[in-house]
Structures are given as structure tokens and as C-alpha cells.
A and B are shown apart, each in its own frame.
Chain A
Amino acid sequence: DAGVIQSPRHEVTEMGQEVTLRCKPISGHDYLFWYRQTMMRGLELLIYFNNNVPIDDSGMPEDRFSAKMPNASFSTLKIQPSEPRDSAVYFCASSPGGQENYEQYFGPGTRLTVT
């Protein structure tokens, strides 16, 4: 298995632009998580899905952020409009569920810079 795939790996955009981050989880995993990591705040959970259904989006910073999971093999995180404070590394992770749900498999991340 190729693991969790994220695209793009790097994104540089100007303030006000729309940004879309993409994730393909590991096949067969029931859970998908979106995280944001910064030096100041560490790794923060933004939202997670179980069987394509959003379960907890309490970590989504504000209405500018939205996430979708239209099917079991694809998810997007969208920021519109983007702001410089959104600059961070965004990780997608998936896990199989059940008793082994604590082991999350992370993608390589998308490094976002908003100027």
C-alpha cells in the first residue's frame, strides 16, 4: 500500500485566495483526520470523519475552513479566503478503527504558505 497520499506537498498562495488540500487515505481505513501543525500550537485536530461522515469539526478554526469526504478514498480541506495566519503544515491521517484506532497513519503533509 502506498500509504496516505496528500497533494500538493507545497502550496504558496496570496492572501484572499482559495486553497484546496487533498488526501487519499489508506484503503480499508474507516477514519480520516485532518490536522494542522505550527511551531506555536503544535499538532491540532481540525476535523475527523468516520465512514465518510464528519464526526467532530470542533477544531475547525472558523467558517473559512471546510472539509468534505465524498467517498472512502478521497477528502478535501478548503480554506476560503486564505490568510497569512493559516500558514502551517496540514496533515491528513487515517486509521482502521476498532481497537487499533490509536495508530494513525499520517500522510507527508502539505506545507502551506500564505503571503
Chain B
Amino acid sequence: RKEVEQDPGPFNVPEGATVAFNCTYSNSASQSFFWYRQDCRKEPKLLMSVYSSGNEDGRFTAQLNRASQYISLLIRDSKLSDSATYLCVVIHNTDKLIFGTGTRLQVFP
């Protein structure tokens, strides 16, 4: 079983829709959580951190559920430019980032 699991998608949604991705992690000792975004044929970039209390950045909301060991990302009012792969990232007690395989989002007009 992978340490970080994501539904690969693709999620195909119309502009303006709300879409949510989940990610589960297996190591209960995981300490920090993030979402990265990767555009097609580009490098990954940090999107946002995920805190137990929730974290909102404009149209994006990230949540952490430690008891169930999952992380979520909610995108409201989807834009065409949101089309990308979203990577769930977990850190244990080292400097290593553990990446999920990503969830692909395609927003259509």
C-alpha cells in the first residue's frame, strides 16, 4: 500500500463548479501536510499548506482530518486555469516529502 493515496481522476468539471479531492495517508506519525500543483509537462509547485483548523486561500480550502488520516482540497468556482494535477504531500519527522501520485483536474468551458 502506498503511503499517500489519491484518486487519479480525471475529474472533468464545468467552469464555475465546485470540486473536491481527497487524499489518505497511512503513517499516523505524519506531521505536516500540503498540496502541490503540477501543470501539464511542468514542475510541481506548492499550492498551500494544510492545517488541522483548515486553511483557506481565495477559492481554495484545505482540510485535515487526523483521526481518519485524510486530507482534502476544495476548489470553488472552478476556472479553466485550475486545470492541472494536484499532488497531496505528507512529511513525517524528516526532511522528506512524500508525494501522492496526483489527481488530475480538467475544467471545461
Contacts and interface: CB of A to CB of B under 8 A. Distances in A.
Interface of A: 31, 33, 41-43, 45, 48, 50, 55-56, 91, 95, 97, 101-104, 106-109
Grouping DSSP codes into helix (H, G, I), strand (E, B) and loop, the B interface class, with mixed when no group exceeds half, is strand
B43 A91 contact: yes
A106 B101 contact: no
Interface string B37-64: 0000011111001000000000000000
B9 to A, nearest CB: 13
B94 A56 contact: yes
Contacts of B94: 56
Interface of B: 32, 34, 42-46, 49, 87, 89, 91, 94-102
B71 to A, nearest CB: 14
A63 B1 CA distance: 25
Nearest to B87: A43
Nearest to A39: B101
A48 B96 contact: yes
Contacts of B89: 102
